[in-house]
Amino acid sequence: MSNDLKLLQPYQLGAYTLKNRIVMAPLTRNRAATGNVPQPMNAEYYKQRVSAGLIITEATQISAQGLGYPNTPGIHSPEQIEGWKLITNTVHENNGHIFQQLWHVGRISHPSLQPNGALPVAPSAIAPEGNALTYSGAQPFVTPRALETQEIPAIVEDYRIAAQNSMAAGFDGIEIHSANGYLLDQFLHDGSNKRADRYGGSIENRARFLMEVVEAAISVWGSKRVGVRLSPSGKFASMHDSDPKALYSYVVKELNRFNLAYLHIVEPRVQGNTDVEDDGTGLSTQYFRSIYSGTIISAGGHNRETGEKTLLYDSADLIAYGRLYIANPDLPQRFALNAPLNPYDRSTFYGGTEKGYIDYPFLEANQSYQAA
C-alpha cells in the first residue's frame, strides 16, 4: 500500500481535520423523491463514499424558483431539511465531513419546472443555446425574464435562508455554486449580463451579486465554513466573457477578503488528454494560486496521477473527483493500492434507480495490489 501519496495525507480545513485530500465533487444525480426530498437511497449513496476527506453534495436548489432539472433535491422546505438530516447523520456516524452546495439555476430552467409556469429568471433576457431537461423530456430553452433590480435582494435572502436550512440539516458547511452557467455565473459574464444597473456593466458591478451572496452565507456560517465554486474557463450553457482573465482575477482577489473555507476551481482541460492542461485561457489553479491566499480545490477530469501532480506542484490543496467517485465508492483505498478502477456507466449518471448509483462494487478485503 502506498502511504506516501500526498492525496492520502490529512488536511486541516478550518476547524475540520480531513482524513485525506480527496474531495467527492458535487454530482447531480437526479434521484430525489417526490417534492425534491432526499430519500434513503441517497443516504446510502453518500454513506458508501464517506472515505472522501470531504464530500460536497450534489447541487441543491435554494428555492422553488431555483429548480432547473427533474428530481434534484432542494433545501427550502421542512421535508427537504428532514431528508438531508438522514444523509448528514449517516455521514457523521461514519466519521465523514459534508458540505452542501447551494444552487439557483437562473435561465437554465423551463416554465414547466417553475412555480405557476413562470419564466425562468436571469440577469438579462437572453436565452442559452440548447434544451432544458424537463419531466416531459428535452425542450428548447425559453427566453428568460430579466430580474428587476429590486428583486435581487430577495434572492440573496433566499441564499441566506438556505444557508440556515443547511445548518439545521446538520451540514458541516456550504459551498456557493457560482459556476457552470447557473445564475451567479450568468451575472459574472458580460455575454449573459447586459444590465445597466448596479449589477451590470463593470466587472465590479457584475460580481456584486456573488459578493452579496457570500456575505449572506457568512452571516450564518462564519467565513471558514463557506466555500465558493467557480468555472473560469467554462463555456457550458453558452457562457462567454470578453475578458475572462480580468473578470476572474478581480473575483478571486475579492474573495480573498472573506477568508473562506476554500475556493473550488474547475480546471481548463483538453478533452481526452490524460493530463489536466491549460486550454489557452490561462485560468488554471496554478494561475489563481498566485492571487488567492487560501485553500484551493482543483476539479476537472483528474485521475490518480494528475491529482497527485497538482498537489506536488502546489497548484492546489485538495483534489475533487467526480466520475471516478461515482464508480468507485472506495476511491482512496484504490489509489492507496494502485488498484484497478471500476468503469463508470454514463447512461446511469442522471436519474434512475439503484443501478449505477449504489451498486458499484468495493474492493474485496483480501485483494492486494502493487503500489506505484
Note whether 276 and 308 are within 8 A (CB). Answer: no
Listed residue (123, 120, 124, 122) closest to 139, CA to CA: 120
Residues labelled catalytic: 182
Q: Which three cell numbers stand for residue 20?
A: 485525506
In angstroms, what CA-CA distances link 317 with 22, 133, 176, 324, 352?
10, 35, 19, 19, 34
Cα Dmax for the chain: 64
Instruction: List, in sequence order, every residue forming a beta bridge with 22; answer none if it has no partner.
Output: 319
| Backbone CA torsion sign across 88, 260, 105, 348 | negative
Note whether 170 and 75 are within 8 A (CB). Answer: no
Listed residue (192, 197, 181, 180) closest to 143, CA to CA: 192
The one-letter amino acid at 340: P
Q: How far apart (Å, rounded) are the C-alpha atoms in residues 250 and 241?
A: 14
What is the per-residue DSSP string for 16-51?
Answer: EEESSSEEEPP------BTTTB--HHHHHHHHHTTT
The one-letter amino acid at 157: E
Helix and strand counts by DSSP (H, E) for the chain:
11, 15
Three-state DSSP at 80 gives helix
Which residues touch 322 (CB under 8 Å, ≥6 apart)?
25, 27, 299
Note whether 277 and 268 are within 8 A (CB). Answer: yes
